[in-house]
Structure formats: C-alpha cells, structure tokens
Amino acid sequence: MSWMVTGGAGYIGAHVVRAFAEQGIDTVVVDDLSSGRRSFLPPGTSFVQGTILDGPQLEATIGRYDVRGVVHLAGFKYAGVSVTQPLHAYQQNVTGTVTLLAAMEATGVDRIVFSSSAAVYGTPDVDLVTEGTAEHPESPYGESKLIGEWLIADQARATDLRHTSLRYFNVVGSGTTRVFDASPHNLFPLVFDALLEGRTPRINGDDYPTPDGTCVRDYIHVADLAAAHVVAARRLDAGDAIEPVYNLGSGDGVSVGEIMRAVAAVTEIDFTPEVGPRRAGDPARIVASGELAARDLDWRMRHSLAQMVESAWEARRAASEG
C-alpha cells in the first residue's frame, strides 16, 4: 500500500516524498509538471503525470498503486497572481480538491493531509497567530485554501474521512542539493537570482515598526515541514486523535533585514539591499505558534537561520551549475 502525493514534484512536494521514503513508506506522485520538476524526485519514485482535475485518472492511479491515503499539495500557489487570475486559482485549488475528494470517496480512500497556508489569516491583528486566530484571507489564493479546508471538513462529516490541514508559513531551505525553490515570487530565490546575475537584491520597505524597520516573518525549513507530514500520515494510519488544523510556525520571527545579513554572510557576497516602497497590505509582523504541532506532530525547528540560508544557497548554486 502507498500514499499518493499530489504536487509531489514541486519544491515542497519533493521533500515530502523524500521524507516518506526515508521512513520506508511507499508513495506515488501525481503532478502535471506545470511548476514541478521530475528531476526533483528520488530515482525509482512512482510517478504519474496528470492533473488533479482528471478524476478518472486519479481513480485509476489509486487502484493501480493501492493508495491508502493522500497528501494533497497540488495547486496554484501564487497569492499575488491569483488576484489577476482568480478563476484559475479557484479551478486548480477548489475544483481540483473537489475532484480529488470525489475520487477518494469512489475508491474508499479515507485519509488526507492537506497543504494549507498562512494566507488564510490575511493580515492578523495579533503578534502570535494560533489556530484560533480568525481567518481573513485577502487573496483568491488564501480564500481557495480556506475553502479547501472547509471542503475536507464537510466531507469528513459526511463520510469516514480522517484528515488534517497544515498551514505553512514561510518555507525556505533545502534538504538536498537536488531540490531548490524555483518560485519566481519567493524571497530566497529572488535574492539568490539577483546575486547570481550580479544585481543588488531589493527589499520592500524599511520603515516598519520593527527592530530594524523591515518586515518580520516566520521562516521554517522545508525538511522540518516534510517530516511533520510523515507524522501526520502515520497518526491518520493509526487512527490516533488529530486536530483538523495545525500551524507550522516557529513562534519567533526573523526580519527581512536579518535574512539579508545572513545571505551576505553565507554567500560571502557583500551587499546592501536596495530599498523600495512598502507593498500594499504587507503587515509589519506575522509569526505563528507551533505548539499544537509540537504536541502532536513532533514539530520543532531543527535548523538555524544560517542553516536555512546555507542549504538553500547550496541547492540554488548546484542548479545553476548543473
């Protein structure tokens, strides 16, 4: 029997697949490769190229690989772009989740770990976000992730589906030089690309009410994130009690300025970032408590900021050289 990982060829998905493999759990990856890369997967990984909008293919894959549970990471993940392409975001993230849940029900698969997002909170008015913090998504992406949680919870009430949703904060780093963050919108790849191209990285705003004037965010290492998925899957397999939602956060923030200084130290490229204006809607600070996940999912910060930056830089350089 195996777990199906939708979106498993992406940056986060490939780390999840590797974490399952390290624990001896078989997986099959379903990915349309719109942003994922098959080269990110370990050799020998079972792979089906396809979209989660294709219900018959999902059912066939579940049957062929004797799937008992799903880690659902596939979707459209660009919050800013979703504002100008809302129908695409909803099709991929809402219709896709409905199609997946229908395929699971048709084939008797009764457990799912859902990739949610801190975007469901929007701009929180608290210093430390908990699972009880009110959700106020501010983009179609954030709305679609919250709807995904609702869909799964509603399906669980109607059937015997066991589930949990993991709300990610700022995912960085790499657990292997074979996998790197290729997003055109995330901070680390934007900074690394600038340095590799001989440009000066740019940040947005240095006049926030924070210790150094730059935004404070909650950065977590992708390998730590992946490990939490394995524990969640095992708890679902065992029938253990599990919360419907977990924040995967550090409980402590890091400023963009601190990130820039860490990047300069790791890369040994001396630079002072250019400072642009604030981006509309950017809160000064978003930091989450990971206490529930620490209690139930063995969640903890196993990597320092320097290790996050160093592992991400090594993976990005390996990609540019190879």
**E strand or H helix at 296, and its extent?**
helix 291-297
DSSP string spanning 183-230? -SSSHHHHHHHHHHTTPPPEEE-S-SSSTTSS-EE-EEEHHHHHHHHH
Q: Is the pLDDT of residue 273 over 70?
A: yes
Residues of the chain with CATH 3.40.50.720: 2-171+219-248
Closest C-alpha among 122, 276, 295, 273 to residue 199: 273
Instruction: Please state the φ and ψ torsions of residue 70, each to the nearest 5 degrees.
Output: -130, 135
pLDDT of residue 322: 66
> How high is the mean pLDDT of the chain?
95
| Average pLDDT score over residue span 194-219 | 94
Neighbouring C-beta atoms of residue 145, cutoff 10 Å: 30
- 155-184: average pLDDT: 96
Q: What percent of the chain has pLDDT over 70?
A: 99
**Active-site annotation, residues:** 141
pTM above 0.85, yes or no: yes
Assess whether pLDDT exceeds 90 at residue 297.
yes
Burial class (CB in 10 A: 0-12, 13-18, 19+), 93: buried
Distance from C-alpha of 212 to C-alpha of 198, rounded to nearest angstrom: 26
Higher pLDDT, 283 or 201: 201
Give the tens place of pLDDT for each residue, 87-119: 999 999 999 999 999 999 999 999 999 999 999
- What span, in angstroms and rounded, lies between the C-alpha atoms of 52 and 170? 25
Residue with the bigger pLDDT between 320 and 303: it is 303
Using the predicted structure, report yes or no on whether residue 285 has a pLDDT greater than 90. Answer: no
Inform me whether the pLDDT recorded for 321 exceeds 90. Answer: no
Q: Average pLDDT in the 205-216 region? A: 93
Q: 84 is written with which tokens?
A: 């100008």
Euclidean distance between CA atoms 18 and 280, whole angstroms:
37
CATH class assigned to 174-217+250-321: alpha beta
Highest mean pLDDT among 14-18, 83-87, 123-127, 184-188: 14-18
Nearest to 96 by CA among 134, 131, 144, 44: 144
The Cα 39–Cα 50 span in angstroms is 16
Q: Which long-range contacts (CB under 8 A, 24 or more apart) does 85-92 make?
A: 85/140, 86/140, 89/140, 89/141, 89/144, 90/140, 90/144, 91/53, 92/52, 92/53, 92/144
Average pLDDT rounded to a whole number, residues 33-47: 96
| Residue that is written with structure tokens 């989660």 in the block | 52
Predicted pLDDT at 89: 96
Within the chain, all domains assigned CATH 3.90.25.10 are found at 174-217+250-321
Residue whose pair of structure tokens reads 């989740």 in the numeric block: 97
pLDDT tier at 282 (50, 70, 90 boundaries)?
confident
For domain 2-171+219-248, give the fold.
Rossmann fold (3.40.50)
When pLDDT is averaged across residues 125-145 and rounded to a whole number, the result is 94
Q: How many Cα atoms within 13 Å fall on the side-chain side of residue 141?
A: 18
- With b for 16 or more beta-carbon neighbours within 10 A and e for fewer, the 151-183 pattern comes to bbbebbeeeebbbbbbbbbbbbbbbbebbbbbb
Report yes or no: 182 and 132 within 8 Å, Cβ to Cβ: no
Lowest mean pLDDT among 120-129, 146-155, 172-181, 220-229: 120-129
